[in-house]
């Protein structure tokens, strides 16, 4: 009797606290289903522990993000384009990458290992050499060499993101044709952030001088992109909007003297549903990002940039389960 009361009370608590069924989780005949997959059938066939990936959810996530940003651009009459990049470090499994690239996306790398994956994809004719490859992260010699190898192999849209001033010297000595590059802005973390430290990138106050002294008159480089990333992710907080506005203002200052600068990479950070109580208005955030960029660009009289995002966890996080 007591067990029945406790069970009833707990069930009522769940019903009052959360909406269920929710999204891709529901029960049927007392058994849990995930993306339409009967979990107990999987357990009976394969046992546990087991890790699985529901591949269609990867494409679903990509298409949802494309829709949010394209709708935001249409509502604001935004003149730039939206480009979705997948962070290969989030999952290196071939079946994940092959599902992702079905969706007309681009790729972001963080290490030499990621470059090897891209080289393998081109060998298997899974991608074309005009795909954007955004090369982020601290770059040791091997990583920089492999970036150069990609460029020499005919990849026309490889963009090394310069995160410290000395990095440019390696590419200067590589005897490349005129090369697109980006600059990573060193955002200021929240003072209470767990890893409050100087991030990779060039400070806001130094970027203009760096461009003028190293890139403006260079026969070897053209500045294509500004890169911006906040560790806390894309959140509706005063801190996030303040850092975003700083980045937009730097773009506007540079765009006035740099006609090749036409893209802004706002990084990643869309959250994923990790509890039944998860709430997040993705369309609102996309709308606000686009509106803020458009508003500042109009005030400053500069063209609106193409917007790149780099979503890794968002791309794959809701496709997997551990039993």
Each residue's pLDDT tens digit, 265-315: 999 999 988 777 778 999 999 999 999 999 999 999 999 999 999 999 999
Q: What is the pLDDT of residue 196?
A: 44
Q: What is the pLDDT of residue 316?
A: 93
Q: What is the pLDDT of residue 198?
A: 45
The partner residues of 310 in beta bridges, in order of sequence, read 85
Q: What is the pLDDT of residue 225?
A: 98
Contacts with 307 (C-beta within 8 Å, 6 or more apart), sequence order: 69, 80, 81, 82, 83, 263, 264, 265, 266, 289, 290, 293
Q: What is the pLDDT of residue 322?
A: 87
Instruction: Write phi, then psi, for 77 (nearest 5 degrees).
Output: 55, 45
pTM score of the predicted model: 0.90
Q: Which two tokens stand for residue 152?
A: 């020499």
- Are the beta carbons of 85 and 310 closer than 8 angstroms? yes
- Strand order of the β-sheet with 31-34 is 25-28, 31-34, 37-38
Sign of the dihedral through C-alpha 200, 201, 204, 210: positive
Q: Which two tokens stand for residue 133?
A: 């490859």
- Are the beta carbons of 234 and 275 closer than 8 angstroms? no
CATH numbers and ranges of domains, the chain: 2-46 (no CATH), 57-322 (3.20.20.10)
186-212 per-position pLDDT tens digit: 876 555 554 444 457 888 889 999 999
H or E segment to which residue 45 belongs = helix 39-46
Mind giving me the DSSP string for 7-29? Answer: HHHHHHHHHHHS-SSBTTEEEET
CA nearest neighbour of 144 among 121, 124, 164, 120:
164
- Which portions of the chain are predicted below pLDDT 50? 194-198
Q: What is the pLDDT of residue 181?
A: 97
Q: What is the pLDDT of residue 278?
A: 76
Q: Which two tokens stand for residue 215?
A: 């890139």
Q: How far apart are CA 182 and CA 134, in angstroms?
A: 9
């Amino acid at each position: 009797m007591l067990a029945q009361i406790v069970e009833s009370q707990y069930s009522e608590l769940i019903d009052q606290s959360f909406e269920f069924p929710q999204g891709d989780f529901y029960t049927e005949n007392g058994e849990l289903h995930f993306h339409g997959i009967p979990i107990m059938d999987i357990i009976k066939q394969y046992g546990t522990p087991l890790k699985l990936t529901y591949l269609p959810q990867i494409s679903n996530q990509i298409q949802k993000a494309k829709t949010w940003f394209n709708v935001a651009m249409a509502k604001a009459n935004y003149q730039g384009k939206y480009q979705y990049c997948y962070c290969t470090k989030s999952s290196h499994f071939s079946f994940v990458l092959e599902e992702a690239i079905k969706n007309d996306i681009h790729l972001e790398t963080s290490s030499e290992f990621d470059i090897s994956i891209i080289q393998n994809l081109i060998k298997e004719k899974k991608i074309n050499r005009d795909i954007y490859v955004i090369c982020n992260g601290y770059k040791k010699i091997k990583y920089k060499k492999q970036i150069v190898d990609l460029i020499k192999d005919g990849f026309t849209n490889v963009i090394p993101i310069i995160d410290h001033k000395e990095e440019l010297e390696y590419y200067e000595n590589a005897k490349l044709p005129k090369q697109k590059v980006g600059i990573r802005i060193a955002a200021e973390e929240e003072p209470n952030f767990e890893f409050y430290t100087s991030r990779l990138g060039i400070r806001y106050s130094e970027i203009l001088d760096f461009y003028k002294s190293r890139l403006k008159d260079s026969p070897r480089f053209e500045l294509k992109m500004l890169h911006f990333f906040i560790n806390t992710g894309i959140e509706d907080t005063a801190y996030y909007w303040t850092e975003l506005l700083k980045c937009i203002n730097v773009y506007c200052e540079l765009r006035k003297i740099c006609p090749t600068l036409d893209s802004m990479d706002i990084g990643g950070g869309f959250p994923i549903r990790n509890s039944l109580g998860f709430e997040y208005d993705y369309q609102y955030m996309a709308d606000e990002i686009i509106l803020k960029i458009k508003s500042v660009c109009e005030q400053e009289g500069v063209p609106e940039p193409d917007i790149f995002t780099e979503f890794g966890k968002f791309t794959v996080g809701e496709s997997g389960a551990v039993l």
